[in-house]
Amino acid sequence: MNGLPGEERILASFETLADEIKRYYKKGYRALGFLGGEPTIHPKIIELVSLANQLGYENIDIVSNGRMYHNRAFVEKLIKSGVTRFYISIHSHKPDIEDYLTQKNGSFKQKIEGLKNLMDLRKKGFFKDRIFLNTVINKSNYLYLTDFMHFYHKMGFMDFRFNFIRPDGRAYLHGKKMVPRYSTVMKYVKQAIELSKSLRVNVFFEGIPFCLFHRSEIRDFKNYIGEFRDGNKKISLGEAQKRIRFEWKERRKNELRTKEETCNPCVYNPVCEGPWKNYIQFYGFKEFRPVKKEVLHTDRSDKKLNSYSYSLHRSRSKRR
Ligand code: SF4
């Protein structure tokens, strides 16, 4: 999804990134994430993490494709410099699919070595937080969500996040070859949710409109919505030589997702962000039909879910 073929991409300088890290620390932020492109290939990544650590950031995350972690000495350095949590983007348990999607032969092998290194270092107490796996659901892998979970669960992973592909960049150019229909994928989403209960692991989904969960009779679906877990992230990135700062949630809602008039009577309208905007160009809006009545249970012990129920309650009160 990131970038277009032939597009020139440059790494931000150490000075630019250091300024951003200091800027947000002064504003009171205490959690920092490195992501976008591939942070682990930045030549100053260790120095940048150390800087954040010395300033006093309490949580320092890295979202990475995980390939560099096959180098154990490098991972150890990252942890020592202050990384507290690792997110790995991995899209298959099958070498041929992973290598195809990442367009790099041997990518799967490196990632698996990297994951083993991380898991081993965690077991030895080098860091405490769990390791999170991020997967983009696309046409090559949606059939295998449960196989994927079994495979990585056997390696000790407990946290899975499946993001429905956002048809931007190359994913947009490949169109229907890469982007599946939501309604085709839901059967496998349901299976993944069922499996998460029996394996006792966490699974979340991003980018899926709520009416599809409803139609698939996933009654407790709100327990699995990634967007409810995200909080408000401030993003700082370099684009066309400029530094751009924005709230991820706002950009996602206002620019990347879309809804239509048919959503107006839907009970989930106040909290659902709709499908990815470009998806509509491939498959239209017919799959998304308003839900008139909420038939789902609420777990009152969960604060995030309570805020979800609260929004629904407020919207209903306003209509009365
Ligand atoms: S708001 Fe629209 S897209 Fe979202 S659940 Fe309702 S009908 Fe579906």
Cα 285 to ligand 1 centroid, rounded to whole Å: 10
Does residue 115's CB lie within 6 angstroms of at least one atom of ligand 1?
Answer: no
* For the chain, counts of helices (H) and of strands (E): 13, 8
The best mutation among 280, 288, 292, 315 to test binding of ligand 1, ranked by most ligand atoms within 8 Å of the C-beta, falls on 288
Among 13-17, 155-159, 223-227, 305-309, the range scoring the smallest mean pLDDT is: 305-309
pLDDT of the residue at 317: 42
Q: Give 94's DSSP letter.
A: S
What value, to the nearest 5°, has the Cα angle with vertex 215 and ends 263 and 282?
60
Burial of 319 (0-12, 13-18, 19+ CB in 10 A): exposed
pLDDT of the residue at 313: 41
Contact between residue 152 and residue 98 where contact means Cβ atoms under 8 Å apart: no
Q: What is the mean pLDDT of residues 290-311?
A: 55
Assign domain 14-248 to its CATH architecture.
Alpha-Beta Barrel (3.20)
Which 3 state secondary structure label does DSSP give 287?
coil
pLDDT surpassing 70 at residue 292: yes
User: What digits encode the pLDDT tens for the residues 203-244?
Assistant: 999 999 999 999 999 989 999 999 888 777 888 887 667 888
User: What digits encode the pLDDT tens for the residues 128-153?
Assistant: 999 999 999 999 999 999 999 999 99
Please report which confidence band the pLDDT of residue 9 belongs to, taking 50, 70 and 90 as the band edges: confident
Token couple for 8? 């020139």
User: Rounded to whole angstroms, how far apart are CA atoms 99 and 197?
Assistant: 30
pLDDT of the residue at 148: 98
Does residue 162's CB lie within 6 angstroms of at least one atom of ligand 1?
Answer: no
pLDDT surpassing 80 at residue 163: yes
Q: Which one of 10-14, 84-88, 253-257 scores highest in mean pLDDT?
A: 84-88
User: What's the pTM?
Assistant: 0.88
Distance, first Cα to last Cα, the chain: 42
Cα 294 to ligand 1 centroid, rounded to whole Å: 12
